[in-house]
Structure 1
Amino acid sequence: MAWWIAVCSSAWAQSVAVPGACAPRVLAVQAARSMAGADPLVRPASGWEPLALPDVWVRRWPGHDGTVWYRIEWERSCADRTEPIALGLDGMSMAGEVFINDDLVWRDASVVEPLSRSWNTPRWWLLPTSALRGGVNTVWVRVVGLASLSPGLGSVRLGDPVAVAREQEQSLWRQRTVFVFSAGLSCAVGCLFGVVWCLRRSERAFGWYALMSICWAAYLLTLLATSAWPFTDTLTLSRLNIAAFVLYTLCFCLFTWRFGEQALPRLERALWGLALAGCAAVMLAPSAWVGVVFLVVWVGFALVFFANCLQFQWHAWRPRAGGRQPQHMLLALCWLVFVVVGVHDLMVILAMWQARETWSAIAGPVTTVCMALLLGGRLVAGMQRIERFNHELEAHVAITRADLQQALAREHAQALGHAKLQERMQIAHDLHDGLGGSLMRSMALVEQARHPLPHARVLSLLKVLRDDLRQVIDHGSSSGATVPETPVRWAAPLRHRFTRILDEMGVASDWRIAAQWGGLPTALQCLGLTRLVEEALSNVIKHSDARRLLVRVQPDAMGALQVRIEDDGVGFDVQAVQDAGLSVGMRSMAARAERMGGALVVESATGRTVVAVTLPLPLPLPLPLPLPLASA
């Protein structure tokens, strides 16, 4: 039974000393068991026996359940005491803890039932310098296991941290990663073929292959489990491991016979009876006999597996009247690979060769490739049927396409008429809000002038009207407007038009515009802000009699855009104007701010009037961080 776990795992390798400039020199490797009634946490004072790692203690102490202490004495091979030392461990069956001298380095999550399952989990640690001594150092490993589950200690590595880490990464790949990949692949393929079988119940071979893949994934998952959860003892999970292998072998044989169209009713009944008996024996065997039962059942169904692979070779390659089936020959080649891999791995384990060199991990990908080819052949036949259906469908589609084109032409003409009408309405609104406001400002200037305006002044007003008209023409409708790249570009046309008028009126203007947007506004919000600022500046020109004007555009910390127009004019009573309802401009600005989702605040007193607009804007999404490069 000692080699059974090795067959299942391919985990343990011969212990090696990691070379280096200051590699540790191992002086002795010994083990001693905790006797019945003794405290398992106390290291034995006697009974130490030399050994070589990896070690399975049932060869030395048959039937011993419980704790065994391992002692590895070593010293540095150079005088440099600051050189870091790493400790690597391929696994322990089942759980335990590691000490350097008298300091705890690591302990399993559970060293009592249900035990943690660390037999297939390589680990490594950097030994703390403070715990190392000048002369001989001792690594203590306490292992807790069951005699029926091949308890013991895997290979141990001491040496340079880089070399130990590299060895442990290779062990992790061989002992866990490749099996995780195989289990995931088996689950995916099993689900795929399960769907195929649900859609086509006549394809019973794919149904059995789906069950076979699920059983293989369950078998691997019991090997990869690091705890006995949800069970209360470790032995129950090991029973399920053997039962999963029995069911996998059963489904494997039934899939082979269904796919190869072999009618073997008596053999099938015998196999079903053998599988039920095997599962019952594994699940119900008493603890004292469980090791022997596990060995007999596992080896027996491994022989059934090999026998099925060999008999299918004869079935696929033998001459027959209708000729050999290519799909059967392809499956036979796949099963032949299984035979070669299985025989190689058994020889590796039984001969105590490098167990990490087993080939069992390639079985899953090879099977997946083979089944993909077989499924591809069936899909080709299905695609040919679909092509014939497509030819028949094309004639009906051509007729329907002609009718649809006529209907689309009518709808397009109607949509074009609606678009033209809507565009005219939008142009009318822009002319009213933009050019209309400029006309009102110009009329106010002419009406308020005490003397006839000179020709140059009239020409300036006409140029402003021309600029406003050009703005309407350039922007088009509000739906076709674009967002300026920066607030400076957005404010440039406003500043150009109003600065000329303000200079002629003797008003000093200060424009403080942010270099970038905080949050990005929409085109409609930009046009709305433009109209709002135009109205506010027009009010300054018409009513304020100001000498100084400040225009500030600045985003706040939350991304909201704050627009502030402040002058030192005569001011007015804000509440009285709002109550009287006489100010069309204030109502228009407030309505625009509300439509844009912002808020308008007007404050006024003698010598100071402020019109402020706060417009919440969404912050731009951050750029995604680059993915970290995987280590070699």
Structure 2
Amino acid sequence: MVSDLSRDPRVMDASSPKAKARMWVAGLLLLLLSQALFWSVVGITERAARPANMAMREGVHYVLYDKNGQPLSGGWELKAERDRFRGYLANGSDKADHAVFSMLFTVADKNQPLSFFLENREDIDGISLNGVPIQPDKPLRRLQGDISVETALYPLPANYLQNGTNVLYIRTDTLLPQISLSPFAIGPARDLESAYRLRGLLQVDIPVAGVAILLFTVALCLVVNWPHEDRSRMRWLIAFLTINAASTLFFTLAPQAGSLLWFQLPILVLCNLALGLSAGRYTVLDTGSRQRWPIFAVGGFAVAIIAAIIILLIFWPEYSFAPFRIALLLSNGAVLVIAILAILAIVRHSVKSAMERWGERLIFILCLTTLAVDRFSLFFEPFAPFNPDWPISLYWSPLVGPLLGIGMVLSLARQAGEARREVTRSNEILAARLAEQDAELSRSYDAQKQMLQRQVMLEERQRIVRDMHDGIGGQLLGLMMQVRQGGANKVEIEQGLQSSIADLRLIVDSMDSAEEGLAETFRSFEHRVRTQVEASGIELEFYHDIEESIDLGPRPTLQVLRILQEAVTNAMRHSAATKITVQGSAHDAGTIQISVSDNGTGLPSALRRGRGLTSMETRARNLGGELSIESSGTGTKLCLAFGQSVGEITQ
């Protein structure tokens, strides 16, 4: 992923001389590692794909024939000289139609299986052993591409061999100005078969697998939803992979276009330019730089190609294919230059980023190296390392297709793994933060709860003080004033003290039952007043259907108890009743209803607007409810109704 190197903590600080030296040493080591790996593989593969007894003879005799099959020379005096890169080169003639090469070899035991190994069977029209054809005509090619080099292996029949000297005749088409015969070997069949199979694997099987792997990688890259900052880089990578696959498929496996060089050469030129541009742009974006040298390089070569074609067509129209051949060379030169620059850019960036993703970039360097070597071989003649007699005979660009595709798949797998790890880390961080916030909320809740409890305690103290001052305090003060003035008798003092004691009990009961719920409040009230009521000769019936979970809180509970106490006391004192009934009902989602009724003579008119009833109505309004009184000659009924949310409102 493209990143800002200045903000990346993994980027080395190259400000000091020592850091710069380490950076250059690391970059040099990475470059040497990639090249050592590539050239070691080249050397081992070329050695394994070349028979150990490859003929090293200095020349091969040949004869030129015209269209009628008549020799143009008197005998086998013509000799094709050995070229270490292209095999054996023979001078052609404008009168020649084909050439026949002769190769003498000696057989000690003709019953031993022997074979004829030919590194490149292109343009081979026929092979005969001791005058007997073993390949009468041009064979069917397995590779159909324009730049394919296909190896051939011909078993030498034992019944055509003879102990002693034998001769092979090979007929080839003539290509002016020179005729070439690829390097060959004659030896034991088993040894030559191993080299033949390896070359078939390298020239056919691996390129085909590479095309499939590259196309699969392209499809995989297309379906991935890349981040916005990676999309441009991935588009150029997809272009590079696609052009690689198309080039391998078209120029290695696709059928030849015959004599339509005007069709083949422009496609080769366009493929080279597109390959160089995509490789360069991907490198620039992957290294995080903003340089545009790939565009300038490809653009410069394209301008040179167009100029060369125009000049040649104007001044030398007789050379119809020369402009396209020059254009092909220039496009190959563009790929060579861009590949070298891209390798250096990747090495430099890998060092600056502390060797991040060095494995993936090493694979890409190897791919760029194959592009450079294949294009370099068009201008020069490279050979296998440490052996100048073994020229490089394989095209390496198609061979790295599987490596490039597998490298990209591994890169996608790595990025997917990093994404999963990042998601896991993010989830862990989120979980930790949520836990921290939950703990903070818990601490805040506990603190607020403690503050609320302190506030409730303070309010409760103030309420008790106020209730005792307004209730008990007022009653005791009134009694004291009556005693001082001598106007209070013994009965009034006793009643006043009993009223004060009852009010004090109500305050205590409200505090004791506030935490136990309304049902427990009713039971406590029944237990306290039953003795008083029955001592007065009055029957007391107490019924309630109240859920145990209903809790009003201390202040509303005290209001309810005072209303009950006032109603029961009035019924005892003024109703002349023989029976008092107290009922209560309350459920989870309903209204609380409380009633006090008696079978007395009704409420006296003097008490209907007295202080007691006014006090009960005030307390009912404080509860957010309603108080109703029904009185007749057969008794009195007081009803209180209020909602369960009174605890929240009143407190």
Give TM-score scaled by structure 1 length.
0.47
Give the structure with higher Rg (CA): 2
Give TM-score scaled by structure 2 length.
0.46
